[in-house]
């Protein structure tokens, strides 16, 4: 397969963007990031794009009258890059059904929970409040249902007795930096394909999400034990 053209949407510091760019440059993803779009002009991830010579663009959602006109402008900006795959990497916007349907099958998201648990926000705090012993992250195809699309792959992270929201978040994010490139790599290689309602992995129906073969350390770098 020819290298896939990837567009990444961000709202913040872009740590998953950096992980994706690095994985492309190492040849772990059969693709390259051809554009980065942010809805926030102060998003730190824009600096990663500039440093790597990747075209970046800001579409400030505050400049639009509502979700529909913003999503229409966003879709146009994405299509200008002629992408094969669009990756949401900390993009903090709920997308309209029309936008999602326009990119169905080529729109991925990473979410900080073991879906279908803890859709939406504050996933780490909710996992701690419920006394979970395991938490993690999921990469899924995007559908109009919030965080409800079919899951490709997950990374599992143990919840420690002394975990805080910050410490658990840091460890999950470590796992995300391995998880997103691994899942995107499978899609870009053609090993993962989605034709509603079935994800196929190497041609066979995927009965349950793949699990990242990644040993997560007990504490994030720089944390005391």
Are 44 and 15 within 8 A, CB to CB?
no
DSSP 3-state assignment of 176? Answer: helix
DSSP 3-state assignment of 129? Answer: helix
- Identify any residues that bridge with 87 across adjacent strands, giving them in sequence order: 8, 108
Rounded (10°) CA dihedral 102, 90, 44, 42: 70
Q: Give the H/E segment covering residue 37.
A: strand 31-38
Is the previous residue joined to 116 through a cis bond, with omega within 30 degrees of 0? yes
**Which position among 61, 111, 124, 135 bears the catalytic label?**
111
Is residue 111 part of the annotated active site? The answer reads yes
Are 191 and 29 within 8 A, CB to CB?
no
Active site residues: 111
């Amino acid at each position: 397969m020819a290298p896939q053209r990837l567009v990444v949407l961000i709202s913040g510091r872009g740590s998953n963007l950096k992980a994706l760019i690095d994985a492309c440059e190492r040849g772990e993803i059969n693709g390259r990031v051809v554009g980065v779009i942010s809805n926030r002009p102060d998003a730190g991830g824009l600096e990663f794009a500039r440093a790597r010579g990747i075209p970046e663009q800001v579409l400030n959602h505050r400049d639009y009258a509502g979700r529909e006109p913003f999503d229409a402008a966003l879709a146009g900006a994405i299509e200008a890059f002629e992408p094969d795959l669009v990756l949401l990497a900390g993009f903090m916007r709920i997308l309209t059904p029309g936008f999602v349907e326009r990119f169905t099958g080529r729109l991925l998201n990473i979410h900080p929970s073991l879906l279908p648990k803890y859709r939406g926000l504050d996933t780490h705090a909710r996992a701690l409040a419920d006394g979970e012993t395991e938490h993690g992250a999921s990469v899924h195809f995007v559908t109009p249902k919030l965080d409800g699309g079919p899951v490709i792959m997950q990374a599992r992270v143990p919840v420690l007795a002394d975990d805080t929201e910050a410490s658990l978040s840091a460890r999950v994010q470590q796992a995300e930096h391995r998880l997103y490139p691994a899942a995107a790599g499978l899609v870009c290689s053609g090993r993962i394909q989605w034709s509603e309602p079935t994800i196929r992995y190497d041609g066979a129906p995927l009965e349950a999400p793949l699990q990242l073969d990644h040993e997560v350390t007990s504490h994030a770098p720089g944390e005391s034990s």
